[in-house]
Amino acid sequence: MSDHDDAHDGGHEDAGHADDDHEADAHDHDGGYEMPEREEFEHNPLGHAEVSAGMTVGELVEQYGHAGIGAADVHEAADIYAEMLADEDCTVFMSLAGAMVPTGMRKIVSDLIRDGHVDALVTTGANLTHDAIEAIGGKHHHGSEHHCGKTPREHDETLRDEEVDRIYNVYLPQEHFALFESHLRDEVFPALEEEGAVSIERLCRELGRANSEVNEREGVDEDAGVAAAAYESDVPIYCPAVQDSVLGLQAWMYSQTSAFTLDALADMTPLTDLAYDAETAGCLLVGGGVPKNFTLQTMLVTPGAYDYGVQITMDPEATGGLSGATLDEARSWGKLEKDARNATVLGDATIMLPLLVASARERLA
């Protein structure tokens, strides 16, 4: 017999054995399947969310807990945030980035402050600028990011000619910035000028006082706002990148002809002391950027770290940027305790923040 025939016959013989093995495996499977040892898997079947007319926001978020992907994240974040607020020993830090005030989230934040759910706020100069504009009588308006019959560029060129600033689909007439400048020069900066170099927190506190007083004196229909609520509630506002705003620009301009100036490092001690003295600490991070990092890095110079953390962001983590970094990543830096409860919610903060706050308030009630 040739080598070719041997190989051919051997191939048939191997195939026969393979068929026998397959039949044996099938028999074993039919006769009694042995479950593999599983460490990661836990029997926790997914459910299906149910919605009905008249259900509350809290009930809706509870239904999210039956589902997966983003719904499960929202449910977990709401649970952690509610626990954070219910912990009477917890010092709550809130960071607020992005266009949250001009897009209609202002009262949610000021109400959280007035109700004692924020112990320190870290935000942008832009949010404080728009907050003050509303406090003294200015208004933001519904607008559009495009216009029928015009290219996007032509639409914005028209707004430029009409002296209207656009924030996506929100409009703000430019005359409100002139009103804001007068407010700062008449009501805020003169009192600070007598003190020389002041902290940014001191500037924010004086802005809150002025907003509150002018709002009441002028009978403005709109609420006095975030800075006013913080001033009235003795809650510090930190604005580490205040220069990056109209508020900061106006402060710089005023400093050119006066003794007024800002000490950028002065806020580090009181903010660190607040974190150092906290029995437990929690953070609600709305958006990323400087406010998020400023809030998290505070724990790097204290013995402890955050016990609770919830963040809302639209940025992906794969870029390596801080804005999209998960709170699990922050744990590696020592910004969160190893056993901290934390959740990251990916989504538009103008949608997610009201959802989380409403759900937490419902639980607390």
Which amino acids are annotated catalytic? 335
Tell me, rounded to whole angstroms, the distance of Cα 34 from its chain centroid.
Answer: 47
**What span, in angstroms and rounded, lies between the C-alpha atoms of 41 and 294?**
37
H and E: helices and strands count for the chain: 15, 11
Please name the residue ranges forming H helices in 169-306: 175-183, 189-193, 200-217, 226-233, 246-255, 268-276, 289-297
C-alpha 247/C-alpha 231 separation (Å) is 17
Could you tell me where the DSSP H helices lie in 32-96? 57-64, 69-86
Residues sharing a CB contact under 8 Å with residue 96, sequence separation 6 or more, in sequence order: 109, 121, 122, 123, 124, 127, 286, 287, 291
Those residues whose C-beta lies under 8 Å from the C-beta of residue 150, and which sit 6 or more positions away, are 158
55: left (phi over 0), alpha (psi -120 to 50) or beta: beta
Instruction: Dump the DSSP string for 293-332.
Output: HHHHHGGGGSS--EEEEEEEE-S-GGG--TTT--HHHHHH
Helix (H) or strand (E) holding 34: none
Look at residue 4 and give its three-state secondary structure: helix
C-alpha to C-alpha distance for 277 and 214, rounded to whole angstroms: 35
CB-CB contact of 171 with 143 (8 Å):
yes
